[in-house]
C-alpha cells in the first residue's frame, strides 16, 4: 500500500487522542490531499480493510485493543478560503479557532461560539458542535463528503441533523464545509472570542487530559448537575476521574486506560439512572476493540 502522505503501522492511538489512551491502529494514514485520500480509500477497499477517519482526536475514546484496519487523519485538509462577501470554505482539518479568526479578518462573524471548542471543523460538523443554543450546522450551507469513493457536494437541507448530531451514511467522510457568516465588527468578534475562551478556561480548566464534555445534556437538563446530584463528582476508576472542577469531564488523572474510562462511564450512568431515572448518553465517540 502506498500514498504520498504519511503511512504508519501499529501506531498507538494514545498519541493521537486528547484522552491519551487507546491501543494501536494497524495502519495510521495522513493523506496529502483529496486525490491521495481517494487513492488510499480505493486501496483499502480493494484489500477489504476497514477504516476510520479522525481529526485531532478530540471527543474520541479508543479502546485498549486498538483499531483493526486503518485510521485516516485529515490534519492536512486545513485550507480556508473566502468564496464571496459572507461565505467561507474550511477544510475538515482546519482548527475551529483558526476558522473564526479567518472570518474575523474579513469582517465576518457569527461562529464565535466554536472559538473555545478544541478540535477541527470536520469534527465540529460531525457532531454539530456548538454552545449557547447555537450549532455549527446552522451556519453551514453545504459540505463535501467522500461517499463510496467519490467526492460529492451536499446542501445542508439534504442532510438530517439535530442537537449534537449529523446523520451520515456509514463510511461518509467530511472533507470541507461552506459556512455563511454575517458582517461583524472584528472588535465584536474579538470580544466573543475572549468571553468564550475565558468562560471555558474558568469552567473547563480541569488540569488533566480530557475529551471535553463526556455526556450529552438530556433535554432540558445539564449533565453535570445530574452527575453532581448522584454524588459522582470526584469518583475514580483506576486513572480515570470525574473531574472535581467540572463533573461532566472525565479526565486522565495519570496512567488511565480506556477500560478505566468505560468502567467509570458505566458507573456514572448507573448512579444517575438510580438517582433520577435519566439515562445519560456518551457524547464522546467510542471506537476500537477490547484487548
Catalytic annotation, residues: 164, 213, 283
Q: How far apart are CA 209 and CA 291, in angstroms?
A: 22
> Which cell goes with 233?
463528582
Instruction: Find residue 53's DSSP bridge partners.
Output: 72
Q: Are 142 and 174 in contact (CB under 8 A)?
A: no
What's the first-to-final CA gap in the chain, in angstroms?
A: 26
Q: Tell me how far CA of residue 120 lies from CA of 56, 80, 157, 160, 281, in angstroms.
A: 7, 12, 22, 21, 23
Q: How far apart are CA 189 and CA 29, in angstroms?
A: 36
Q: Is 36 exposed, middle or buried (0-12, 13-18, 19+ CB in 10 A)?
A: middle
Q: How far apart are CA 156 and CA 153, in angstroms?
A: 10
Cβ atoms < 10 Å from Cβ of 142: 19
Amino acid at each position: 500500500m502506498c500514498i504520498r502522505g504519511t503511512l504508519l503501522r501499529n501506531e498507538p492511538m494514545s498519541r493521537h487522542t486528547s484522552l491519551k489512551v487507546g491501543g494501536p491502529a494497524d495502519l495510521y494514514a495522513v493523506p496529502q490531499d483529496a486525490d491521495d485520500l481517494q487513492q488510499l480509500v480505493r486501496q483499502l477497499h480493494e484489500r477489504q480493510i476497514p477504516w476510520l477517519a479522525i481529526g485531532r482526536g478530540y471527543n474520541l475514546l479508543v479502546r485498549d485493543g486498538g483499531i483493526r484496519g486503518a485510521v485516516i487523519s485529515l490534519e492536512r485538509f486545513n485550507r480556508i478560503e473566502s468564496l464571496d462577501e459572507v461565505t467561507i470554505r474550511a477544510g475538515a482539518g482546519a482548527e475551529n479557532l483558526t476558522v473564526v479568526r479567518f472570518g474575523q479578518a474579513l469582517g465576518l462573524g457569527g461562529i464565535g461560539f466554536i472559538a473555545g471548542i478544541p478540535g477541527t471543523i470536520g469534527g465540529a460538523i460531525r457532531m454539530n458542535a456548538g454552545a449557547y443554543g447555537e450549532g455549527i450546522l446552522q451556519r453551514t450551507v453545504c459540505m463535501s463528503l467522500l461517499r463510496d469513493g467519490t467526492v460529492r457536494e451536499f446542501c445542508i437541507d439534504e442532510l438530517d441533523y439535530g442537537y449534537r448530531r449529523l446523520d451520515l451514511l456509514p463510511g461518509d467522510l467530511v472533507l470541507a464545509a461552506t459556512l455563511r457568516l454575517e458582517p461583524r465588527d472584528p472588535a465584536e468578534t474579538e470580544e466573543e472570542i475572549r468571553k468564550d475562551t475565558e468562560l471555558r478556561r474558568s469552567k473547563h480548566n480541569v488540569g488533566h487530559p480530557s475529551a471535553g464534555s463526556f455526556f450529552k445534556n438530556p433535554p432540558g437538563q445539564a449533565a453535570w448537575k445530574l452527575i453532581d446530584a448522584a454524588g459522582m463528582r470526584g469518583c475514580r476508576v483506576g486513572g480515570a476521574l470525574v473531574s472535581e472542577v467540572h463533573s461532566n469531564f472525565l479526565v486522565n488523572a495519570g496512567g488511565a486506560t480506556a477500560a478505566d474510562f468505560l468502567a467509570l462511564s458505566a458507573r456514572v450512568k448507573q448512579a444517575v439512572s438510580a438517582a433520577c431515572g435519566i439515562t445519560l448518553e456518551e457524547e464522546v465517540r467510542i471506537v476500537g476493540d477490547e484487548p
